[in-house]
Amino acid sequence: MLRKFYETVFDVELYCQMADLICRLSEKNNKEQLFWRIQQASLFLEKPGQEMEEDYGFRYPGEVLERLDEKAEVTERQLRALGLSLAETKELQDDGMFIGKQKPSFWKRLKRTLGQSDLYWLGSQYLSGDGQQKELYKKLLDFPAQSVEEMVFILSVLPDDRAVWEAVKGKLDRLLGKDRSFSVYTHTEIYAWLSMHFQARVSGYRKKDIETLKYVLRLPFSYAKAGSTAREKLLEAGYSAEEVMFLSMSLLPRMEAQGALKKNGLTAERMAVETCMLFLGGDGRLLGQAGDLCRQLLKDYRSFDVRLDDTSGIFDRLYELLKVENIHTYCLLLSCDGREELHGDWFLIDLTEPKWQGLYPLLERKCFDKWVFQTLKRKPYTKDEIKAYLSAYKNLTGEEFFTHFWNSAGTDLRQIFQRLAELELVHPVSLLEEYLEEDKGGNREACQKWGFMAEHLKAYMEGLKTPEAVEMLFRMEERASGISRDTLLPMEELLWNSLGIRLQYGRISFSRLDFSRPFLSVEEHQRIFAITERYLFQRYPEQYIPFLVQVLTTEANFSWFPKAEARSVFLQLSGMDKELSGLERLREIYLTEGELEAIRAKEKELEERHLWLEEREKIRAIRKEFDLLVAKTRNTETQFKQLLDYVQRYYTGRRSRKERRFIVKRYLCSLFERKQGMLIVQKEAEALCQLATVLFVKAELDFSELKWILNQVEFKKEAA
């Protein structure tokens, strides 16, 4: 709706109230349809905030015309409003709405007050259709419109035909081009109205007489990108690149139904990115006018329907292109992003530059501090720069930055503490001394005071990465409180985190144990080892030997643990009646080749002796099993069948199978030596033949033995 553009010449609210009153009182059967048509043609007809009866107490239109002066001051604005409303709603009006000369008298008053040179009076007369249409049509067509608002009013009144278009297109081109006196940012709705009504007439228009009008109205239908004819022509006509893209993206969603570019298409995505770049980049001087559009674009294109340059949304694409250089862009992006951690470089606050100090009153304190922390953590400031930064922070907030370390121990702050310690702007060793002094005897007040600061000290000591951190460990070890598990700085946690000792599945792991610190002397290395060794021996005696094994296995430790001394410790450990993990590796490190050969020979001898004993036990078990089988089957008619099964049964181990065949062969030979001419049934004879064949094939029986055994057998006649 174009209401705001006509508030100075019409009392728009009164206009809407009068039209609404006439519609409600109308007795026409199709009044809703008629009123809808009136609304479509009107520039600013909408539902009033209050009905006429509520606002003025008038109950019918004639009463409004006659008595409005009693309720309010009636100026040209009110007269124009009532006149236009009467003209537009003529088809809805009934005779009963006016009494006597109320309506004719009002028209005379309009003519007398406004005169024939008033554009809006001419328009009302034309719409009322009171007999002078041709003359009024010509007057409106020839009216010397001085503003685009007047031109739009004329176009809304006159019919949408070619004759009108041909008469006004040149005027429109000048008003939108070289004679333009209004801002694109305030008159977007005017451009939208013109584009909606006349873009079809300029589509495909080849002449060059209305180039500004043509390219303006076609903005939502093609991308007027840099270097394009459309962009160049509009720049010549006085439009800036910002204005061109503002209009393009403002009009596009309003014109989608008329065949404009698809809002979710790749071209529209590119246009949205360029628009945001133009307004968000640089000093952001136009964000007061274009900020709302940028917010809408950031919302609409948060996710691209078509990936643009391998990015999934406008924030990711802008993050590749846009450098935030002013506080207004900063605030707009921060309020819209929703995933600002992914675009952190946008939101760093460099307080060493005065322009960024203006963010403090614009942001919530929590948000301001969050991005101050991120800035101090991520930017590689020098010592002097950080001092200037912290000074600016104090001037803005009235607080020392260091108070944060006493009130919080978040990850960002812990990293900032370490950075400030590296630059000697905080002094961890002095703070530790102060804490240890105050914490004597488990002082509860000290625990409350030092709770967060102790976390910073722990984080600084983790890894023992600096000489100061190592010095802090030594000073803690000198104090009895350092050994306590209940202190804010427990020795166990510090040792574990610093040296790579880990607790895994309920067990202590030394696989990442690392004592080496290039900046430490041999004596300092040995002192750290002694502290750790003593602590483990006292607290976890069962872990003492695995700890020593890991130390001895790490050859890098020879820089502070002489190999000769380490060998002595190894020899003591290997002499213990205890299995050592990694023993072979330790032998390779500490034993000579001759010592290794002697140990390996001895181990080989023991292994062979063990295997021999193991084999002997297996043979004993096999023979015991066979004796039980023979005892069970002797003198039965299934003896040979069961022996065959015994031989053919699968057994693991080649030697076990051979041993079973051997004792079966030995048993057969012994049996037939004792019993010459054995009588057996046919089935047993068959089983014996198969058994003898198996033994022959496996080379347990030679041919003569096979023949001899079979010659000893006679068939026993089976009972009928």
Task: Transcribe 70-119 into DSSP letters.
Answer: HHS---HHHHHHHHHHHHHTGGG--GGGS-TTHHHHHHHHHHHHH-TT-H
Q: How far apart are CA 558 and CA 515, in angstroms?
A: 11
pLDDT the model gives residue 485: 55
Instruction: Give the burial class of 310: count Cβ atoms within 10 A of its Cβ; 0-12 exposed, 13-18 middle, 19 or more buried.
Output: exposed
Mean of pLDDT values over 211-224: 95
∠ CA 392-460-374, nearest 5°, is 40
**Any idea which residue has 């022959």 for tokens?**
696
Instruction: List for the chain the helix, strand, coil content (%; round to 5).
Output: 70, 0, 30
Q: Which of 448-452, 477-481, 498-502 has the lowest mean pLDDT?
A: 477-481
Tokens of residue 316, six digits: 């990711």
Share of the chain above pLDDT 90, in %: 69
Q: pLDDT band at 441, cuts 50/70/90?
A: low
Give pLDDT tens digits for 244-256: 999 999 999 999 8
Q: Is 186 helix (H, G, I), strand (E, B) or coil?
A: coil
Q: How far apart are CA 350 and CA 233, in angstroms?
A: 41
Instruction: Give the burial class of 3: count Cβ atoms within 10 A of its Cβ; 0-12 exposed, 13-18 middle, 19 or more buried.
Output: middle
Q: pLDDT band at 647, cuts 50/70/90?
A: confident
Give pLDDT tens digits for 480-507: 544 455 578 888 888 888 999 988 777 8
CB 626 within 8 A of CB 657: no
pLDDT the model gives residue 708: 85
Instruction: Give the burial class of 359: count Cβ atoms within 10 A of its Cβ; 0-12 exposed, 13-18 middle, 19 or more buried.
Output: buried
Mean of pLDDT values over 704-713: 81
Give pLDDT tens digits for 80-90: 999 999 999 99
Q: How far apart are CA 548 and CA 169, in angstroms?
A: 95
Q: How far apart are CA 387 and CA 231, in angstroms?
A: 49
Q: Are strands 713-715 and 678-680 parallel, antiparallel or unpaired?
A: parallel
Answer with the residue of higher pLDDT: 621 or 218. 218
CB proximity list for 142: less than 8 A, separation 6 or greater: none
**Any idea which residue has 């985190």 for tokens?**
497
The DSSP H or E segment spanning 508 is strand 507-509
Residue 105 CB neighbours (<10 A)? 14
CB 227 within 8 A of CB 238: no
Average pLDDT over all residues of the chain: 90
Residue 650 has pLDDT above 70, yes or no: no
Q: How far apart are CA 19 and CA 347, in angstroms?
A: 52
DSSP code string of 609-669: HHHHHHHHHHHHHHHHHHHHHHHHHTTSTTHHHHHHHHHHS--SSHHHHHHHHHHHHHHHH
pLDDT the model gives residue 481: 46
Give pLDDT tens digits for 155-167: 999 999 999 999 9
CB 686 within 8 A of CB 641: no
Give pLDDT tens digits for 565-617: 999 998 888 877 667 788 888 888 888 888 888 878 887 888 888 888 877 88
Q: pLDDT band at 115, cuts 50/70/90?
A: confident
Q: pLDDT band at 268, cuts 50/70/90?
A: very high
CB proximity list for 343: less than 8 A, separation 6 or greater: 315, 319, 333, 337
pLDDT the model gives residue 366: 96
pLDDT the model gives residue 483: 46
CB 106 within 8 A of CB 87: no
Q: Would you give the DSSP letter of residue 719? A: P
Q: Would you give the DSSP letter of residue 485? A: S
Answer with the residue of higher pLDDT: 354 or 503. 354
Tokens of residue 352, six digits: 């060493």
- What is the residue type of 357? Q
Residue 517 CB neighbours (<10 A)? 19
CB 333 within 8 A of CB 287: no
Instruction: Give the burial class of 587: count Cβ atoms within 10 A of its Cβ; 0-12 exposed, 13-18 middle, 19 or more buried.
Output: middle
Answer with the residue of higher pLDDT: 1 or 533. 533
**Any idea which residue has 């009588």 for tokens?**
679
Phi, psi (deg, nearest 5) at residue 143: -60, 130
Mean of pLDDT values over 202-209: 90
CB proximity list for 558: less than 8 A, separation 6 or greater: 566
Mean of pLDDT values over 102-130: 93
Answer with the residue of higher pLDDT: 419 or 505. 419
Phi, psi (deg, nearest 5) at residue 25: -85, -15
Residue 142 has pLDDT above 90, yes or no: yes
Tokens of residue 32, six digits: 């809703």
